[in-house]
Amino acid sequence: MKSRAAVAWEAGKPLSLEEIDVQGPKAGEVLVRMVATSVCHTDAYTLSGKDPEGLFPSVLGHEGAGIVEEVGEGVTGLVPGDHVIPLYTAECGKCKFCLSGKTNLCSSVRATQGKGLMPDGTSRFSLDGKPIHHYMGCSTFSEYTVLPEVSLAKVSKEAPLDKICLLGCGVTTGIGAVLNTAKVEPGATVAVFGLGAIGLAVIQGAQMAKASRIIAIDVNPDKFELARQFGATEFVNPKDYNDPIQQVIVDLTDGGVDYSFECIGNVNVMRSALECCHKGWGESIIIGVAGAGEEISTRPFQLVTGRVWKGSAFGGVKGRSELPGYVQRYMDGEIKIDEFVTHNMAFDKINEAFELLHAGESIRTVLHY
Ligand code: NAD
Ligand code: AHE
Ligand code: ZN
């Protein structure tokens, strides 16, 4: 079939709107009609050429929601008409990772996913006979996309797809990093570096966890008002200080915070986020994604004296088991999503959505097919 799609032909160039060919679902696969997608900074990162797994040409996009159009042979858990959220972290329920009880990372389709292919090692996308890669197992920047069944969370048909698409990455990642990865406890102090969708969702999670102080840090002070609405209690712009930002936070918090979160993808800020944690117990969670070849460093003494460095992928959330519950909590008013949507646009304006993100003017732009 034909599908409207935004194709990334090469790194550093705007996406190109094309009518691509999409093959129907093979065994274990599902054809989904995307209804809405948004743009996460990770899409911009891969398009920039800094992602070691980045492939071109490809159909990017991993934060979306849609409706099942057709299922392949052997698909038992989904039927046409079901509402779904694509998952870049699959959940097969059977692999060593899924059975470990220790992680949300699933190995069932990850190897082929990283090569931009479906589990059988081929692509369902092409243009003029030339194959186009999939991306993060999702490719939500195509109106019709094909995913493995294990990469789809079935959710309530009552929920608006143009809002719950944000549960496909940003909102879930931030809340999950607080509740699952850090397990922030009531009364804890929290510092959040970077106030895009991920940082704001961390703030929301910290408020849900009843943190006593939530310090919001960004070099763009325009982000502070929304951070306040999500529950941040203090606001710090590193540009206002001569001291290193970790020293500023340590001074503000009688020796450091209990938990910090890096939501930018800057390895220097990752170091600051670790070093602003309290001696003996402070934990720093890396959420931001850094470019190829970049590495983190600190004095080992920081860890010897009790600080802990952790990372979080999709907030430690197991998508098929847990996303339906996130959707329900949104419907019940317990999780905010609408507030992240600063812009709504037609899908063909997708390059404007990237520009707004780069300019720091949007939190999330939802694109409507
Ligand atoms: P975003 O661009 O909307 O937000 C980043 C924010 O960081 C901006 O507000 C920017 O002003 C701020 N910032 C930039 N440099 C800074 C500095 N030196 N000090 C303080 N603030 C600074 O991005 P986003 O969509 O919220 O994504 C944030 C990061 O999280 C990206 O690296 C993205 O790839 C990553 N991410 C990771 C996961 C995961 O599962 N681990 C999931 C989603 C996104
Ligand atoms: N491809 C990059 C890694 C990118 C990365 O870390 N991705 C995050 C999700 S970002 C969503 O916006 C993640 O969950 N990673 C776990 C995984 O299995 O990819 C690289 O460095 O190779
Ligand atoms: Zn993302």
pLDDT in tens, 301-354: 999 999 999 999 999 999 999 999 999 999 999 999 999 999 999 999 999 999
What tens digit of pLDDT does each residue of 42-89 get?
999 999 999 999 999 999 999 999 999 999 999 999 999 999 999 999
For the segment 152-159, the average pLDDT, to the nearest whole number, is 98
Active site residues: 40-42, 62-63, 92, 95, 98, 106, 110, 169, 364
Of all atoms in ligand 1, which is nearest to the CA of residue 265? 32
Share of the chain above pLDDT 90, in %: 100
Ligand 2 atom index nearest CA of 41: 12
Q: Whose CA is nearest to atom 13 of ligand 2?
A: 313
CB within 6 Å of ligand 1 — which residues? 40-42, 45, 169-170, 173, 193-199, 217-220, 223, 238, 263-266, 269, 287-289, 312-314, 357, 360
Residue 203 and residue 214 in contact, taking contact as beta carbons nearer than 8 Å? yes
* Nearest ligand (C-alpha, residue 245): 1
Compute the average pLDDT of residues 123-147: 98
pLDDT tens-digit readout, 65-74: 999 999 999 9
Which of 45, 88, 107, 134 most suits a substitution to test ligand 2, by most atoms within 8 Å of the C-beta? 88
C-alpha 265 – ligand 1 centre gap (Å):
6
What pLDDT is attached to residue 214? 99
Give residue 344's pLDDT. Answer: 98
- In the reported structure, the alpha carbon of residue 266 is separated from the centroid of ligand 1 by a whole-number distance in angstroms of 8
Task: Report which protein residue has its CA nearest ligand 1's atom 39.
Answer: 313
Nearest residue (by CA) to ligand 2, atom 9, is 313
Overall pTM surpassing 0.90 (yes/no)? yes
- Give the mean model confidence (pLDDT) for residues 214-241: 98
Of the pLDDT bands very low, low, confident and very high (cuts 50, 70, 90), residue 132 is very high
Q: How many A from CA of 41 to the centre of ligand 3?
A: 6
- Looking at the chain, the whole-number percentage of residues with pLDDT higher than 70 is 100
Q: Tell me what pLDDT residue 177 has.
A: 99
Q: Give me the domains of the chain, ranges plus CATH numbers.
A: 2-168+337-368 (3.90.180.10), 173-313 (3.40.50.720)
Q: Which residues surround ligand 3, an ion (CB under 5 A)?
A: 40, 42, 169
- pLDDT, residue 171, reads 99
Q: With a cut of 0.85, is the ipTM above it?
A: yes
25 CA distance to ligand 2 middle (Å): 25
Mean pLDDT for all residues in the chain = 98
pLDDT at 37: 98
pLDDT at 245: 98
Confidence of residue 158 (pLDDT cuts 50, 70, 90): very high
